[in-house]
Structure 1
Amino acid sequence: MLGYFLSTVLLMAFGYVYPAYQCYKEMEKNVVSKEQILFWCRYWILVAVLIVIESFADVIVSWLPLYGESKLAFVIYLWHPKTQGANYVYSVMLRPIVTQHEKEIDRTIMELWCRGKDIAVQFMRNGAYYGQTRIFEVLRYVSTQAAAAPAPAAAAEKEKETGKAK
Structure 2
Amino acid sequence: MSTVKEAVEVDVPLHTAYNQWTQFEDFPNFMEGVEEVTQLDDRHNHWTTKIGGIRREFDTEIVDQLADERITWRSTSGDTSQRGSVRFERLDDTHTKVELVMDIEPSGAAEKVGDLIGSIDRRVKGDMKRFKRYIEERGAESGAWRGRIRPGGAGPAL
TM (norm. structure 1) is 0.27
Larger Rg: 1
- Between 1 and 2, higher relative CO (CA 8 Å, sep ≥ 6) is seen in 2
Whichever structure has more helix as a proportion of its residues is 1
